[in-house]
Structure 1
Amino acid sequence: MKPEDFDFLAKMLKDRSGLVLTKDKSYLLESRLMPVARKRGYKGLEELVAQLRKRDEALAVDVTEAMTTNESFFFRDQKPFDQFRQVVLPNLLATRATKKSFRIWCAAASSGQEPYSLAMILKEESAKLAGWKTEIVGTDISREILQKARAGLYSQFEVQRGLPIQMLVKYFKKRDDQWEIDPAIRAMVQYKEWNLLGDLGALGSFDVVFCRNVLIYFDQDTKGVVLDNISRQMNDDGVLYLGGAETVLGISERFKPIPSQRGVYAVSKPGYTGGTLGAA
């Protein structure tokens, strides 16, 4: 690949998605974009880049989607979901007892395993949530991966990754060579196409945000922008989940770690002294 073509693609992808590509990742561009080029009938990436330079928006969307990492599985890393069920959910039931409602946002929801994992937890706790209004919103930049999430169809391999067998039996049905999630669980999640670098205002405010294993793909400045954007959509006592290799320290002053709750952060806004979760 020509250096100028790599530079063009790298800048376009960073501007559109925040994804940072270094020179040693040129192989990644070639392996993921060659199928896009072939689909369009181009001989190679040089022709693809030439078309992108003509501001072909549809092609730019296809290229961005092809480069977006969509790795996800049910109850990924398990501990954050146990912590949500044992600590965060009881805290929400206590602090939201008057209005009896709360909203959860899964940013970069990919193919839906994370929001559906949370939906299954809420379903399991339905007796405690009688009379409550709960919302789970899953967003992603990829239109294609959101179609898969909405369909709620998963391969044998996908349901074997993290999904407890009792959950599989209870909430899925076999359809040919795939597993279909229960329509009641699927209905608990709204999916929306959204870019974390864009205006998030229309999404509304949230009590819990999962943004796990997303920041690792961004540079330091972009991480700060994303965290600041997310903080503006969170209620004062909101809770943020990040991935195990991610942190807010040295990046954003809008969140602070919650003592004894690794990977979980509280909103830190001017004049707000903190909620009760840290003491839970």
Structure 2
Amino acid sequence: MNKADFEHFIGFLKTKAGIVITTEKAYLVENRLAPIARKHGMADANEVLTKIRQMPSAALVSDVLDAMTTNETLFFRDQRPFDQFRDNVLPALMERNAASKRIRIWCAACSSGQEPYSLAMMFNELGPKVAGWRLEIVGTDISKTILERARKAEYSQFEVQRGLPITMLVKYFEQKGEAWHLKADIKNKVSFREFNLLENPRALGQFDVVFCRNVLIYFDHPTKAEILARIAGVMPADGHLFLGGAETVLGVSDKFAAAPGLRGIYVPTAKAAARAA
């Protein structure tokens, strides 16, 4: 790969999506951009890098960002956060929001939708306990392609076997050919929007809970701090932020503090509340 083109590409990814890669990842870039080269009638990944350095079309930029975004996900990933949401966070939310009977959740970098749909199924399983309550779940991702998949809510046998209890598979999905289709009553509880975490999320509205799990690990320290500050700006003082098992706000941001007794869950600090005001 041309060194100058590759170094420009590293800066391009950092500026556009906050993605941090090193020169040692040249093989990964080449593998992921090869299909993009074929799609756009180019010889190889090197030509894609050259075009990116010149004046790339919006379509090429979108495809490149799609290709370089990691979209690993599964239903009820790691399970513990979902149990904590149901057993600890949700009861407190229902007490606080008793007047409006409304709860808003943001699933950032939601990939193909398994996380927000898992939350919707879990909420539905509570039955009479949540009767009369309105749950709004917004899933966002930078990738247009992956959001199209999320909206369709069609999953392979392999995907539904990853984390999804068989009882929920039978109850909430219909098999059509080799694909499993999520039923409309759960599908309609989630809306999806294209969103870049480097942007201001205020247009999405305010959220009681934000799931931003296994995302921050792809950003450098300053970018993590900026993202956390933006998230704090769309949460109430008693909101809850869920991060991945390998992620923390400690030493990164003063906008959140660990929720007592709840591993991987954080609450806005007084500094965050003052900033939002």
TM-score range, shorter chain: over 0.9
TM-score (norm 2): 0.96
1:271: how far off? 8.7
Distance between the aligned counterparts of 1:144 and 1:23, measured in 2? 27
Helix, strand or coil at the partner of 2:128:
coil
Helix, strand or coil at the partner of 2:98:
coil
Give CA deviations for 1:129-168 in whole Å, capped at 9, x if unaligned.
2222220000000000000000010000000000001110
**Structure 2: segments with no counterpart, 5+ residues:** none
More moved, 228-237 vs 49-58: 49-58
Distance between the aligned counterparts of 1:91 and 1:138, measured in 2? 23
Distance between the aligned counterparts of 1:196 and 1:51, measured in 2? 25
Aligned letter for 2:188?
A
Distance between the aligned counterparts of 1:202 and 1:272, measured in 2? 18
Distance between the aligned counterparts of 1:126 and 1:116, measured in 2? 16
Per the alignment, residue 139 of structure 2 pairs with 138
Per the alignment, residue 105 of structure 1 pairs with 106
1:44: how far off? 1.5
Helix, strand or coil at the partner of 2:62:
helix
Is it true that 1:13 corresponds to 2:13 in the alignment? Answer: yes
Q: Report how many residues are paired.
A: 273
Give CA deviations for 1:223-261 in whole Å, capped at 9, x if unaligned.
001111111011111000000000000110000001211
Distance between the aligned counterparts of 1:62 and 1:235, measured in 2? 36
Give CA deviations for 1:192-228 in whole Å, capped at 9, x if unaligned.
0001101211100000000000000000011001111
- Relative to structure 1, is the Cα distance of residues 199 and 246 closer, same or farther in structure 2, using a 3 angstrom cutoff? same
Per the alignment, residue 35 of structure 1 pairs with 35
Per the alignment, residue 248 of structure 1 pairs with 249
Distance between the aligned counterparts of 2:104 and 2:127, measured in 1? 15
Per the alignment, residue 118 of structure 1 pairs with 119
Aligned letter for 1:261?
L
Percent identity of the aligned residues?
53
Per the alignment, residue 23 of structure 2 pairs with 23
Distance between the aligned counterparts of 1:11 and 1:176, measured in 2? 44
Aligned letter for 2:50?
A
Helix, strand or coil at the partner of 1:236:
coil
Distance between the aligned counterparts of 2:272 and 2:25, measured in 1? 44
Per the alignment, residue 276 of structure 1 pairs with none
TM-score (norm 1): 0.95
Per the alignment, residue 211 of structure 2 pairs with 210
Distance between the aligned counterparts of 1:272 and 1:196, measured in 2? 20
Helix, strand or coil at the partner of 1:103:
strand
Helix, strand or coil at the partner of 2:239:
strand
Distance between the aligned counterparts of 1:263 and 1:120, measured in 2? 22
Contact preservation (8 Å) 2:75, 2:114: yes
Contact preservation (8 Å) 2:245, 2:264: yes
